[in-house]
Structure 1
Amino acid sequence: MPKTLKLILLSLRDLIVSAGPVVFIVIGALAAAYWYLDPQPPKTVTLATGPAGSAYAEFGKRYASALKTNGIEVVLKATDGAADNLQMLRSGEADIGFVRGGSADPVADEEAGLMSLGSLFYEPLWLFYRSDAARKIDPNSAALTALPQLRSLRINIDKQGSGVPDIVEKMFKANHIEARTLRLSNLEPAPAVDALLAGKVDVVVLASAPQSPLVQRLLRARGIQLMDFGQSDAYARRFAFLSAVTLPRGVVDLAADMPPHDVALLAATTSLVASDQTHPALRQLFAQSAQTLHSGAGWFNRARDFPNTRTSELPVSPEGDRAINGTPPFWQRYLPFWASNLIERMWLVLGGLVVLMLPLSKIVPPLYQFRVRSRVFRWYARLREIETKVDTRAGDRDALLDELDELDRVTHGIAVPLSYTDELYALRNNIYAVRKRLLANWPKEPGPAAAS
C-alpha cells in the first residue's frame, strides 16, 4: 500500500474513533426521541361518516382518496349520524368523525379528549313536505312557513343517533309543542325520502350538506316543497348552534330558476372531530385535506369561508389551527409526507441536538490529537528504560544497542500527519542521543587479541 494512502486511512480511522463518542451520543438521543415521540403515524385510520347516501358518506370517500396519496388507508365506518359518531369517538371505535353543531357536550367532550380540526361546512336543516299535505292545512296556500302548522302531519325526523331528533324536538319545544303529541317517525334518510315521494309520510326533516344525493333528489322532485323558515333569525338567536342561512334564488338550477325565490333556512356547522389518542400526524393530514376539500364557494358560503376555527364548539387542535390559520412550513412543498412529518415532529429534538453538539464537538480535536501523538509518545517509555540501563550500566552493552536499533526501525514505520512530524523527529533525535551517550560513556571493551 502506498505510504500516502496508508497515512490517509490512518488519519481517517483516528478521526472516526475520536468522533465516535459524540456520534454515539447523538444517535442514542435520536433513537430515544424517535421512540418517545413516535413521529410516524399508523397506516390506517378509522373515519366515522354517516348513513349511506349522506353528505358525510360522500365526503368520507373524498378524504379516503386524499389520504391514500400519502400512503394512509382510511377505513370508512357508516353510522347513524353525528350523535353516533360522537359516541364512537368517545369509546375509541373511531379516530376521527364528522360532528354536527349542537351534538357535542363542550365540557364533557373536552374532558374526554375530543378536539376539533376545524368547521367544514354548513349543514342546513332541510324540511321537505308534500304540497298536497300543505293544501289540507290551508287550501288557499300550498306553502308551510312555521312549525305549528305541522301538528296534524306525519313527520319523519330521522333515525335516533343522527342528532336530528334532538334538534327538532328542541325547536318544537320552543314553539310550545310537545313531541309526544305529534305523529313522529324515525326512518333512516333513504327510506324516509322514498316514503315521502310515495305519500307514506307528509314531512321529512334532513340535516345534510347540499351535496347529499337525497337532498338533490328532493329539491328536483315534483310535488315536494322546501319549507321557508321565516323565523330563521329568531331560531338562531335562541339556539347558539344554529345559523340563519339563505338558499339563493336559482342556485339549484339557474336555467330552471330553481328555487324561484330566496329560501330562509337554518343550518348547523359540521366539524371534523378527533380524539386526543389519534396520532398528531393524522390530525394534520385531515386538517390539510380539509383545506382542499372545503375551501370552495358553496350554496351558503363564499370561497375560503371554510374551513374555519370560529364556529367550533370544541377546542381546536394545534394541527387544525396551524393548517387553517397558519402558514405551512416551506419544506412541506418539497418533501414527501413521511420526511416532512419527521421534521415537523422532531424539529425541537434536532435543534436541541445541534445545541448539544456544539460543546461536544470541542472534545473531538483533543481526542484526535491524543490518538495521533500517542503513536509517538508510547515509545518514550521503552526509550526511558534503555536510557536507565545505560546510565546504570545494567545489562549487556550490545543488547542495548540492538534495542535502540530496533526502536529506531519501529519509529521509521510510524505514520503521522505532516503537522505532527516534528514530534516524530524529536523521538528519533532522542533515540540518537541515547545511542550517542551509550557509545561515549560505555566504550566497547577490547577483545583478547587486542589485549595481547
Structure 2
Amino acid sequence: MAAARIYRRKWVLIRLPIAVLAVAAMAWLWQAVLPMPPTELTLSSGGPEGVYHAYAQRYAARFAEHGVMLRIASSGGAEENLRRLRGQAAPEAQLAFVQGGVSSAGSAEARSRVQTIARVDVEPLWIFSRVAGLDSLQQLQGLRVSLGPDGSGTRQLATALLAQVRLQPSDLATDSKLTGPGGVEAMRQGKLDAVLLVMSASSPLVKAYLQVPGVHLVQLSRGAALIERMPALQARLLPAGAIDPVARLPARDTTVLVSTASLLAQAELHPALQRLAASVAREVHEPPGLFHRAGEFPSLRRIEYPASAEARRTLARGLPWLERQLPFWWAQFTLRLLVICLPIALVAWWLARLVPAWLRWLIDSRLVRWYGELKYIEYDLEQDTVSGLDASRHIARLRQIDERMKAFTPPDDLLARWFTLRKHIWLVQLGLLKRRGR
C-alpha cells in the first residue's frame, strides 16, 4: 500500500518537502513582495554654499543613526534635481530638495515618477540692486542682471517673473549666470546692477549681499499682481534687522516674495525609507524660521507633486508602532518575520501534521475494513449453517486478505494491530478448514 510506504518515511517524503517549500515561499515573498529596504540612498541637495546642503548633512546624520547611508550630491538647482529623480541625469538620486514653482514642469509620465515627502521650508526671492529707486521688474530692462545658472530654480523663477512683465533675458544689457561668492564680488566691483536669488534667509550669501556698500534689497511695488498670476509665490514681511540685528540688515521692513521648497522622492522608493524620510524631515524642519512658525513644516499643503501615502501617514500619525519600538533595521526584520515567516511556518506545521494524520487514517481504514470482513465471516460461522461451498468461499477470501497483508508493511505504531489481525485470520481459517472437513 503506497500510503503505508509514504507514512513510514514521512519525515523524508512529507515533512522535509513541506519545510523546503515553506522556506522557498518565505524567500520568494521576502525578495519579491516585501523586500528589505536598501542600505544606501542619494540626496540631491543643491549648491554646496546653500542652506539645503547644510540640511542634507543633517539628514545624512539622522539616516546614519538608523543604519542607512545617505550620500549627498550637490547640483546646479531644481531642474537638475528633478532630472536625477527621474533617472535622466547622473548621479541618480532617490531624494531631492526642489524649489516650488518650478517642479510642475515635465510630462505626465515624468511627473508620475516623483512623489512629495513634504514641504520643508520657505525660500524667499531676493532682489539685490545697486540702482537707487528700483522697485519693479520692468526697470531691469537694459541693466546688468544675474538670473542664476542654467538649470537652477532661481533662473526658472526669474525667467517666469520677467515673462509676466513681457521681458526676456535678451532684453537685459547683461544676462549673467554668476552665483555664490562670485556674484557678491561682481556686485562689490560694480560689474552687476542687480541679482535675483532664491535662497533661504539663513544662507550666509544673503547677509553678504546686504553688506556690499551701495546694495539694497528691492521691494516690488506690484508684488500682489505677480502673486495672483503665479500661485506658487506668497508675500511675507521681512522685519528690519532680521538678517543681522547688530548691523540692522535689512535697514527697513521689506515685503519679499517667497516660494516653498519640498523634499521629493522617487515614486518607487521603498515605503519604509519614505516613512523614515518623513520622520527625519519632521526632526530637521519642525523648529521655527524667519518666515514660519514652529510646526508649520513639514507639511503637505499646496504641493505640486502627488503626496507619498507613507509620508502622509507618518506626518499625521507618526511612524508605525513597530518602528517606534525597535531600531529601524530590527523593525523591518521583525515585520517580515511576523507578516511572511510566521504565517507560512504555521501553515507548514499544520500540513506537516495533517498529511501524515490523513495517511494514517487511510491505513487505519484499511485495517478496519479487513477486520470488518473477518467479523462478517466469524458471524457466519456462529450461525452453524455454513455449507462446504460457503466455507471454501470464505477460505479463499481470507487467503486473499492474508496475501494482501503480507504485501502491506504497516508503520511501527500499527504493528500490534497488524499481527493481531493476521492471528485472527489464521484462527478463522483453521475453524473453516475443520468445518469443511466435517
Q: TM-score, normalised by structure 2?
A: 0.74
Number of corresponding residues = 400
TM-align CA RMSD? 4.4
1:196 pairs, out of 170, 187, 192, with 187
| Residue in structure 1 matched with residue 407 of structure 2 by the alignment | none
| Residue in structure 1 matched with residue 33 of structure 2 by the alignment | 37
**What displacement does 1:300 show?**
0.8
| Residue in structure 2 matched with residue 100 of structure 1 by the alignment | 99
| Residue in structure 2 matched with residue 446 of structure 1 by the alignment | none
Deviations along 1:111-131, one digit per CA (max 9) or x if unpaired, are 4522222211111111123xx
Q: How does 1:37-186 map to 2 (within 5 A)?
A: 37=33, 39-90=35-86, 91=88, 93=90, 94-95=92-93, 96-105=95-104, 108=107, 110-112=109-111, 113-129=113-129, 133-134=130-131, 137=132, 144-151=134-141, 153-183=143-173, 184-186=175-177
Determine if contact 1:22/1:357 at 8 Å carries over to the other structure. Answer: no
Matched, 1:304 2:295: yes
Deviations along 1:38-74, one digit per CA (max 9) or x if unpaired, are 5223322222221220122222222222212222222
Partner of 1:49, secondary structure, is strand
Determine if contact 2:145/2:194 at 8 Å carries over to the other structure. Answer: yes
Alpha-carbon distance in structure 2 between the residues aligned to 1:67 and 1:75: 10
Determine if contact 2:45/2:75 at 8 Å carries over to the other structure. Answer: yes
1:330 pairs, out of 321, 324, 342, with 321
The alpha-carbon distance between structure 1 residues 58 and 378, as it changes in their structure 2 partners (threshold 3 A), is: same
Aligned partner letter, 1:187: L
Partner of 1:305, secondary structure, is coil
Determine if contact 1:121/1:307 at 8 Å carries over to the other structure. Answer: yes
The alpha-carbon distance between structure 1 residues 342 and 110, as it changes in their structure 2 partners (threshold 3 A), is: farther
Alpha-carbon distance in structure 1 between the residues aligned to 2:274 and 2:318: 16
Matched, 1:291 2:282: yes
Aligned partner letter, 1:166: Q
The alpha-carbon distance between structure 1 residues 338 and 172, as it changes in their structure 2 partners (threshold 3 A), is: same
Determine if contact 1:269/1:311 at 8 Å carries over to the other structure. Answer: no
Aligned partner letter, 2:156: D
The alpha-carbon distance between structure 1 residues 197 and 29, as it changes in their structure 2 partners (threshold 3 A), is: same
**What displacement does 1:191 show?**
0.9
The alpha-carbon distance between structure 1 residues 365 and 120, as it changes in their structure 2 partners (threshold 3 A), is: same
Alpha-carbon distance in structure 2 between the residues aligned to 1:16 and 1:258: 82
**What displacement does 1:253 show?**
4.0
2:226 pairs, out of 216, 219, 235, with 235
The alpha-carbon distance between structure 1 residues 17 and 275, as it changes in their structure 2 partners (threshold 3 A), is: same
Matched, 1:269 2:260: yes
Q: TM-score, normalised by structure 1?
A: 0.72
1:251 pairs, out of 242, 258, 277, with 242
**What displacement does 1:171 show?**
1.8
Determine if contact 2:30/2:340 at 8 Å carries over to the other structure. Answer: no
The alpha-carbon distance between structure 1 residues 186 and 344, as it changes in their structure 2 partners (threshold 3 A), is: farther
Partner of 2:42, secondary structure, is strand
Determine if contact 2:147/2:154 at 8 Å carries over to the other structure. Answer: yes
- Unaligned segments of structure 2, at least 5 residues: 1-8, 374-394, 397-409
Deviations along 1:382-434, one digit per CA (max 9) or x if unpaired, are x99xxxxxx89xxxxxxxxxxxxxxxxxx9xx986xxxxxx777667657767
The alpha-carbon distance between structure 1 residues 442 and 205, as it changes in their structure 2 partners (threshold 3 A), is: same
**What displacement does 1:241 show?**
1.7
Q: How does 1:395-410 map to 2 (within 5 A)?
A: none
Partner of 2:282, secondary structure, is helix
Of residues 83-92 and 46-55 in structure 1, the stretch that sits farther from structure 2 once superposed is: 83-92
Alpha-carbon distance in structure 2 between the residues aligned to 1:58 and 1:216: 17
Alpha-carbon distance in structure 1 between the residues aligned to 2:81 and 2:240: 34
Aligned partner letter, 1:48: S
The alpha-carbon distance between structure 1 residues 209 and 361, as it changes in their structure 2 partners (threshold 3 A), is: same
| Residue in structure 2 matched with residue 319 of structure 1 by the alignment | 310
Deviations along 1:326-349, one digit per CA (max 9) or x if unpaired, are 4421111112212333566897x6
Determine if contact 2:125/2:258 at 8 Å carries over to the other structure. Answer: yes
2:200 pairs, out of 209, 226, 239, with 209
- The percent of aligned pairs where both chains have the same amino acid is 27
Partner of 1:56, secondary structure, is helix
Alpha-carbon distance in structure 1 between the residues aligned to 2:424 and 2:61: 83
Determine if contact 2:44/2:72 at 8 Å carries over to the other structure. Answer: yes
| Residue in structure 1 matched with residue 392 of structure 2 by the alignment | none
The alpha-carbon distance between structure 1 residues 148 and 439, as it changes in their structure 2 partners (threshold 3 A), is: closer
The alpha-carbon distance between structure 1 residues 437 and 180, as it changes in their structure 2 partners (threshold 3 A), is: closer
- Unaligned segments of structure 1, at least 5 residues: 1-12, 139-143, 385-390, 393-410, 417-422, 444-452
Determine if contact 1:284/1:320 at 8 Å carries over to the other structure. Answer: yes
**What displacement does 1:97 show?**
1.7
The alpha-carbon distance between structure 1 residues 45 and 17, as it changes in their structure 2 partners (threshold 3 A), is: same
Deviations along 1:68-112, one digit per CA (max 9) or x if unpaired, are 222222222221111222223331532222211122235615545
Deviations along 1:169-199, one digit per CA (max 9) or x if unpaired, are 2222323444322223111223112222333
